[in-house]
Amino acid sequence: MCAIAASRVLVVEDDGTVRGFLGRALESGGYVPVPVRTGEEALQVLHAQRGIAAALIDGLLPDMHGVRLADAILDSPKGQSVAICFVSGAVHDPKAGAGGVSALGKPVRVAELLTAVDALVQWRRGGGSPPDQRRAALRHLEQEFLVGP
């Protein structure tokens, strides 16, 4: 496996079937999935554990919108270098990872998922992006495809 393959990826998805699929897909690429069901659980894991390289986030979670979770991750000292990828049915075309923020549509193919996660982990290992660039990328994705509260 390549060096990036040992990276831990937070999987934030309320649907157990989808969460399981994403976890198995990540494992097939050598990643270590850290599955959670809600945004609050994701923030607890982020604060309690070290070494989370990326987060796959469903657009609509039971307790918060995926964008609000991404904002909270970026606000957290431990989350500032965490790459973010939304996985949402609202995404019709994959969005590249400007500022360490990207998006994939559901259903997602394993190869597409692993390519996106590889790119995000490489972004992180390359030094990431300034906070203002990450916020701008998040705002762009929010305007383009995310809906809900």
pLDDT per residue as tens digits for the range 56-66: 999 889 999 99
Q: Which two tokens stand for residue 146?
A: 């995310």
What are the extents of the domains in the chain? 3-145
The DSSP bridge pattern shows strands 8-12 and 32-36 to be parallel
Residue 81 CB contacts under 8 Å (≥ 6 apart), including other chains: 124, 128
pTM for the model stands at: 0.90
Alpha-carbon distance values, 50 to 39, 78, 88, 124, 141 (Å): 17, 8, 26, 15, 27
**In the CATH hierarchy, which fold is given to the domain comprising 3-145?**
Rossmann fold (3.40.50)
pLDDT per residue as tens digits for the range 116-140: 999 999 988 888 888 889 898 888 8
